[in-house]
């Protein structure tokens, strides 16, 4: 965790040696650049020639007072995600060159953007080198006296600063969870994180370990985890605001590493399967932030956590397993394991808590990646109002969702000859839809449920990690959704 202090300032000071000016690409750009040139004593024509304010464009110069001025382009119509990314990119690229104190002028931008400026700037300081042993270069901005000044005139500026910082700090913890390799991350690691967060932010956490899973018959979760030396766990988190009017249940897939089991994956990209707990990470982030930001909601988070390993004890294709719901499941493919643990998680939620809304998140299918690529997650729900609210939140945060069908005609894909359902259709098409239809079976016909398949969006960020890294996708989306309701 970095130590950057974020402060509000009313005007530029002589000691502000680095000033960042975010610039929108408007018709008045030429006039604005001329004013900047006059203020800082540089040639206006050169500035107007060299800087066009394209999104993430960076241009720097020195003033006559030896201040370093950095112009950051925000394009014509940047959304919140693009603003965050622009500031994150700037700080990520420049942090080794920046002094311990920088100042960002937010006076000409919409008030709400202060949150995104702070969020992106702090995210830009994230260090992915979790296990490198070489000595890290000294970065003054990350030192104990690191200061980020925000020049703003808004009455709500302090609240927005605090929110942007709070979200960024939780997102970076989620980054660490997502980026940790399999030998550094087990179901116990996830449970330990949740317990520590709950103690710090005053929400309750209960962990069901193997003996309790057996006694309560969470058999689908147990089956997926039975081939691993790391015992599966069910992590139950609950935050209750005294102002809550609705209860929301979140369920996140927590497979800490997925080999595919007996239906083993190709070795080409198997190392990326350390990210198969992206749904759990989103739930962790959302419930911690609900508590930190004191959102007026009653929130229940369920994370079934396990490792899908290859062993003589592993569950096998053709097995018929039981589940917490009482329904039997025929195993066609052990690499379709996420929906099995979510089945137990969803059933546990509906049968132990009375919730108004259920949202599950999972890095579930390659089919969803083939459909939407790395730019959007698939959304499945039969509730139009819930779909609209989630879409509105997604559009606000830039964590895109695209609604896919959940028609009953797809039920045929999960019919089994010998069990209540089967976990995989075996067909090379509609894989994300059949997975959603499988999950629907375990919602106890809840009328306000949505499934988000985040397989293509939870792990990427090649701008900041050439070999891909955790994105914390879903955290801001869920916080915005919880705020809306």
For position 154, what pLDDT does the model report? 87
Lowest mean pLDDT among 1-15, 134-148, 313-327, 416-430: 1-15
Query: CB of 228 within 8 A of CB of 312?
Result: no
Query: CB of 261 within 8 A of CB of 314?
Result: yes
64 pLDDT exceeds 60?
Answer: yes
3-31: per-residue pLDDT in tens? 789 999 988 877 789 999 999 999 999 99
417 known member of a binding site: no
Extract the tokens encoding 106.
């937010």
For position 460, what pLDDT does the model report? 86
454-472: per-residue pLDDT in tens? 999 999 867 788 888 999 9
Average pLDDT over residues 102-127: 96
Q: Output the DSSP codes for 87-131.
A: HHHHHHHHTTT--SEEEEE-TTS-TTHHHHHHHHHHHTT----TT
Question: How far is CA 106 from each of CA 114, 123, 340, rounded to the nearest angstrom?
Answer: 7, 18, 48
Give the pairing of strands 320-321 and 298-308.
Answer: unpaired
Extract the tokens encoding 272.
């990326």
337 known member of a binding site: yes
Cβ-Cβ contacts under 8 Å for 261 (sequence gap 6 or more): 224, 227, 308, 309, 310, 314, 315, 334, 335, 337
> What is the pTM (predicted TM-score) of this model?
0.96
Extract the tokens encoding 334.
């052990």
Q: Among all residues, which ones are annotated catalytic?
A: 265, 339
Query: CB of 338 within 8 A of CB of 255?
Result: yes
Average pLDDT over residues 139-168: 93
Radius of gyration of the chain (CA): 24
Domains 5-153 and 168-484 fall in the same CATH topology: no
168-214: per-residue pLDDT in tens? 999 999 999 999 999 999 999 999 999 999 999 999 999 999 999 99
Reported as a pLDDT band with limits 50, 70 and 90, residue 53 is very high
For position 463, what pLDDT does the model report? 79
Write down the domain spans for the chain.
Answer: 5-153, 168-484
Q: Of 418, 253, 226, 229, which Cα lies nearest the Cα of 316?
A: 226
Residue 357 exposure: Cα atoms within 13 Å on the Cβ side: 23
For position 282, what pLDDT does the model report? 98
Percentage with pLDDT > 70 across the chain: 99
Of all residues in the chain, what percent are helix, strand and coil, respectively (each to 5)? 40, 20, 40
CATH code 3.40.630.10 for 168-484: yes
Q: Output the DSSP codes for 218-273.
A: -HHHHHHHTTSSS--EEEEEEEE-TT---EEEEEE-EEEEE--TTSPPPSSSGGGG
Q: Which residue has the tokens 């464009």?
A: 57
On the 0-12 / 13-18 / 19+ scale of CB atoms within 10 A, 139 is: middle
Residue 23 to residue 32: CA distance in whole angstroms: 9
Q: Of 456, 178, 279, which Cα lies nearest the Cα of 287?
A: 279
217-251: per-residue pLDDT in tens? 999 999 999 999 999 999 999 999 999 999 999 99
120 pLDDT exceeds 90?
Answer: yes
Q: 3-class SS at 481?
A: helix
Partners of 450 in beta bridges = 359
Query: How many other β-carbons are positioned within 10 Å of the β-carbon of residue 195?
Result: 15
Average pLDDT over residues 89-105: 94
276 known member of a binding site: yes
Residue 78 to residue 70: CA distance in whole angstroms: 19
340-362: per-residue pLDDT in tens? 999 999 999 999 999 999 999 99
Residue 4 to residue 96: CA distance in whole angstroms: 15
| E strand residue ranges, 246-344 | 247-252, 254-258, 298-308, 320-321, 329-330
Reported as a pLDDT band with limits 50, 70 and 90, residue 1 is low
Q: 3-class SS at 434?
A: helix
Residue 232 to residue 308: CA distance in whole angstroms: 10
For position 2, what pLDDT does the model report? 65
On the 0-12 / 13-18 / 19+ scale of CB atoms within 10 A, 268 is: exposed
Maximum alpha-carbon separation in the chain:
81
Task: Classify the phi-psi angles of 75: left when phi > 0, otherwise alpha if psi is within -120 to 50, otherwise beta.
Answer: left
**5-153: CATH class:** alpha beta
Query: How many other β-carbons are positioned within 10 Å of the β-carbon of residue 342?
Result: 28
């Amino acid at each position: 965790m970095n130590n950057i202090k974020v402060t509000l300032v009313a005007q530029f000071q002589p000691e502000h040696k680095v000033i960042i000016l975010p610039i929108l690409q408007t018709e008045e750009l030429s006039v604005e650049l001329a004013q900047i040139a006059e203020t800082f004593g540089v040639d206006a024509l050169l500035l107007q020639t060299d800087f066009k304010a394209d999104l993430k464009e960076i241009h720097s110069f020195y003033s006559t007072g030896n201040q370093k001025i950095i112009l950051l382009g925000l394009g014509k119509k940047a959304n919140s995600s693009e603003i965050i990314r622009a500031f994150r990119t700037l700080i990520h690229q420049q942090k080794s060159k920046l002094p311990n104190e920088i100042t960002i002028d937010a006076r000409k931008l919409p008030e709400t953007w202060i949150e995104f400026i702070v969020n992106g700037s702090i995210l830009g300081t994230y260090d992915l080198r979790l296990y490198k042993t070489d000595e890290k270069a000294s970065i003054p901005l990350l030192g104990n006296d690191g200061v980020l000044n925000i020049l703003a005139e808004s009455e709500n500026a302090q609240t927005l600063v605090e929110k942007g910082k709070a979200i960024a700090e939780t997102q970076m913890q989620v980054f660490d969870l997502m980026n940790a390799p399999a030998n550094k991350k087990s179901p116990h690691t996830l449970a330990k994180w949740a317990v520590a967060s709950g103690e710090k932010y005053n929400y309750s956490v209960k962990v069901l370990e193997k003996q309790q899973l057996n006694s309560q018959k969470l058999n689908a979760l147990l089956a997926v985890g039975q081939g691993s030396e790391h015992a599966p766990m069910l992590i139950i988190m609950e935050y209750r605001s005294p102002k809550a009017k609705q209860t929301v249940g979140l369920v996140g897939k927590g497979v800490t590493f997925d080999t595919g089991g007996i239906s083993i994956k190709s070795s080409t990209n198997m190392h990326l399967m350390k990210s198969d707990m992206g749904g759990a990470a989103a739930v962790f982030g959302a419930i911690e932030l609900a508590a930190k930001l004191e959102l007026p909601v009653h929130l229940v988070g369920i994370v079934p956590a396990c490792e899908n390993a290859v062993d003589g004890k592993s569950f096998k294709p053709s097995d018929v397993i039981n589940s917490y719901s009482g329904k039997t499941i025929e195993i066609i493919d052990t690499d379709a394991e996420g929906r099995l643990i979510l089945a137990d998680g969803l059933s546990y939620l509906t049968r132990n808590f009375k919730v108004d809304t259920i949202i599950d998140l999972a890095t579930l299918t390659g089919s969803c990646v083939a459909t939407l690529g790395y730019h959007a997650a698939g959304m499945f729900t039969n509730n139009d109002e819930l779909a609209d609210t989630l879409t509105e939140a997604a559009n606000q945060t830039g964590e895109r969702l695209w609604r896919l069908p959940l028609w009953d005609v797809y039920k045929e894909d999960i019919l089994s000859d010998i069990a209540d359902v089967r976990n995989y259709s075996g067909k090379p098409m509609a894989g994300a839809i059949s997975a959603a239809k499988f999950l629907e079976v375990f919602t106890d016909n809840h009328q306000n449920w949505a499934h988000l398949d985040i397989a293509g969006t939870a792990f990427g960020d090649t701008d900041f990690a050439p070999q891909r890294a955790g994105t914390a996708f879903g955290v801001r989306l869920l916080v915005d959704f919880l705020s809306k309701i």
